[in-house]
Chains A and B, each alone.
Chain A
Amino acid sequence: MPSGAKLVVEAIRREGVKAIFGIPGLSNMPIYDELIEYLREEEIKHILMKHEQGAAHAADGYARVSGSPGVCTATSGPGALNLVTGLATAYWDNSPVVAITGQVPRASMGRKSFQEADVVGVMQHIAKYVVEIREATEIPLWIKNAFYIALTGKPGPVVVDIPRDLLSTNVDSVEWPEKPVVKGYKVFKSVINPNDVMRAVKILLEAEKPIILVGAGVFWSNASDEVLKLSELLVCPIVSTLLGKAAIPHDYPLYLGVMGYYGRAEANMAFLESDVVLVVGARLSDRTLPSFNDLVSSDKKLIVVNIDPTDVMKLPVKVDVKIYGDAKEVLKMLIDAVLGLGRKVGRVEWVSRVKELKNYYSRYYYRDDGYGLKPWKVLKTIRDVLPRDAIVTTGVGQHQMIAMNFWEVLEPRTFLTSGGIGTMGFGLPAAIGAKVARPDKVVVDIDGDGSFLMTMNNLATTIDYNIPVIVVIFDNRSLGLVRQVQQLFFKGRIVGVDFGSSPDYVKLAESFGALGFDVSDYNDLRKAFKVALSEGVTSVIRVPIMRDEYALPTLPPGGSLKEVIVCVQGKNC
């Protein structure tokens, strides 16, 4: 008779899980006990993270790279609660993660028992779904349901909370479900009306200045090829959201970059000047479109493709054509419709204007006054030494905004960042997850010092499990983005953001068994990367960045895209 814990592990194996990121404790220990056989047989890997937040981010990174749900586990109380930030990050970015948490025995509940926490109460607001298991016999079905909910519709994290006594309960007869059964859950219907497709195509063909805004939906539906094909056919420039960036190879000549709050000025301007916008898989968040007045005040036509109709229903602007369906499927239909009509467009003027915008703003971006290392040049140096398919993760802060604008993604699914909720500390554990999913790829965490310090304890995991990642720390001894906002919009009243001289990142790296590099110029950086790549050991490369470097462009708080700030007097103006 298998125990509840055995059912958990077997159910996970049946879902095709190859890796679990987690930390054992009293309440999930029975699961670990059953896991031993699977580890010995090398059917499943376990990666011991150094904090549960890291476990959730690693599972998230794994999911974003592989497209399959990432799995993490934690014990009850503090273990489970430590998952919260990581799961919220996955929820905001629609990443399929399944978290299995141990819970105190049912008889102990409600007494402030040791390591007791109301996981359902806490998690239900930051996850797609949370289920508390009531009987051990339910475990096979609910593990299957969890994977189904996590991966279908709009993906997201699902938490399965299991009281410890149920993990130890033996089950007489086990029913392995063939299909999930979740009452009151439906996958969004992809019912694409051919008339809507044709209307959209006609609007796009008749447009003078159309633009495609690519969101994370293109990433999740693997629709990069389709969006490029449509752009080529329509001679239509592309801008993206931060998460959509990962879907577009940046050497595609009509890609202008990420638009929005810290987005590239030419992307914002092209968006503003366009007469038709085709939004694919983006919800037009406040980061992408800080003010809807930019849409309301224009007479541009809006075509929106989204798997979730409620995202479109929430938009406070008129949408001319709404197409509800999977991005890949819809884009294929749009392509067929364009080809079917056989009309060709030139759009010489629009393409020329877009190039003009690109060239105009470039003169603000690519400056080097010889005063310290320039972040854009650091990224260019790294790009030059990495293979096209290297995977890059980031933390959150100034370095993230700089990577958003100046890191060149050359292959889809190779750029992972916390775009929705903006979680500092995402970079390193997400890189671990990415490397576990794709051990054949080079994985680099481009991080800030503030962000790195939040989850850097997971360096130990990369050494213990031979998961070699390269961490590049943009070290400005400051919480740079907050500092920048204080400087620009709080009258230069700098408070609570500057770090002292601690730590020494080289010694820190070495203490974990990683290689440590302190670079002082671009050549040093190149050399450090060459060693890191050839040694195949986790490496930490500290890149000193001046504290007063800004992440530009930016907008004033709550500002319009029209108010984009590309330079600051006395700096790059």
Chain B
Amino acid sequence: MFRGRIVRVVCYYRDASLLEMIISTFRKLLIDIDWVYGRKVSDDGLYEVVLGVRDSRNFKTAVLDLSNTVNVEVVEVLGDSEGGNYITNESINGNEVVKIYIPKTDIKECYSWGEVCG
């Protein structure tokens, strides 16, 4: 189980500054990021970016700021249930070179341009 906070950002990709904006929203509020992964969801440029960030008193502010960022459709705060998986790639001489934690999550709350759900 991941001991920080997990955030899923559903957003439209225009250029790679999208990732900078997401990451810097946390950086500007002194919140460290433990891991991040992202993928394209649809052909019209919809992406999801999932981040594991350290808990912080600024966490809510970061989420709210992100939810008002141009190109960001919605920000979900995910609950990390027990039973997340690690995917490892042991392709080089049996050494573990890539290790990705895929949390098993559910949406606790979400924010989109002033609207709240969850």
Contact = CB atoms under 8 A, between A and B. Distances in A.
A314 B64 contact: yes
B31 to A, nearest CB: 15
Given A121-B20, A124-B20, A186 B111 contact: no
Interface in A159-188: 182-188
B56 interface: no
A248 B111 CA distance: 34
Given A130-B17, A186-B113, A310 B11 contact: no
Contacts of A186: 112-113
A309 B113 CA distance: 8
A134 B16 CA distance: 13
Contacts of B70: 128-129, 149, 182, 184-185
B50 to A, nearest CB: 17
B21 interface: yes
A416 to B, nearest CB: 25
Contacts of B44: 183
Interface string B1-22: 0000000000110110100110
Contacts of A52: none
A571 B94 CA distance: 79
B60 interface: yes
Nearest to A187: B113
Interface string B80-118: 000000000000000000000000000000011111100
Contact of A324 (B15, B72, B114): B114
A421 interface: no
A184 B73 contact: yes
A189 interface: yes
B114 A310 contact: yes
Contacts of A198: none
Contacts of A187: 113
Contact of B71 (A121, A134, A185, A309): A185
Nearest to B27: A125
Interface in A283-316: 308-310, 313-314
Given A125-B28, A310-B68, A188 B114 contact: yes
A310 B64 contact: yes
A232 interface: no
Given A121-B17, A125-B24, A188 B113 contact: yes
B62 to A, nearest CB: 11
B38 interface: no
B67 to A, nearest CB: 7
A313 B20 contact: no
B14 A131 contact: yes
B17 A310 contact: no
Contacts of A314: 60-61, 64
A132 interface: yes
A407 to B, nearest CB: 33
B92 to A, nearest CB: 31
Contacts of A188: 113-114
A313 B64 contact: yes
B65 interface: yes
B11 to A, nearest CB: 6
Contacts of B115: 189, 309
B12 to A, nearest CB: 4
B20 A183 contact: no
B3 to A, nearest CB: 25
Interface centre among A121, A154, A313 (most CB of B within 10 A): A313
Interface in A312-337: 313-314, 324
A120 interface: yes
B68 A120 contact: no
Nearest to B47: A184
B21 A124 contact: yes
A320 to B, nearest CB: 18
Contacts of A309: 114-116
A98 to B, nearest CB: 14
Contacts of B15: 120, 132, 134
Given A130-B17, A314-B60, A308 B68 contact: yes
Interface string A84-121: 00000000000000000000000000000000000011
Contact of A184 (B20, B60, B71): B71
A183 B45 contact: yes
B57 to A, nearest CB: 10
Contact of A189 (B20, B28, B68, B114): B114
Contacts of B45: 183
Nearest to A128: B70
A310 B111 contact: yes
A324 B68 CA distance: 15
Nearest to B45: A183
A130 B21 CA distance: 11
Interface of B: 11-12, 14-15, 17, 20-21, 24, 28, 44-45, 60-61, 64-65, 67-68, 70-73, 111-116
- 10 closest A-B pairs by CB: A309-B114, A183-B12, A186-B113, A184-B71, A184-B12, A310-B64, A129-B70, A184-B73, A188-B114, A185-B70
Interface of A: 120-121, 124-125, 128-132, 134, 149, 153-154, 182-189, 308-310, 313-314, 324
Given A121-B17, A314-B64, 14 more contacts: A124-B21, A124-B24, A128-B70, A130-B17, A132-B15, A154-B68, A184-B73, A185-B71, A187-B113, A189-B115, A308-B68, A310-B67, A310-B111, A313-B116
27 contacts: A120-B15, A124-B17, A124-B21, A124-B24, A129-B70, A132-B17, A149-B70, A154-B68, A183-B12, A183-B73, A184-B72, A185-B70, A186-B112, A186-B113, A187-B113, A188-B113, A188-B114, A189-B113, A189-B115, A308-B114, A309-B114, A310-B64, A310-B67, A310-B68, A313-B60, A313-B116, A314-B60
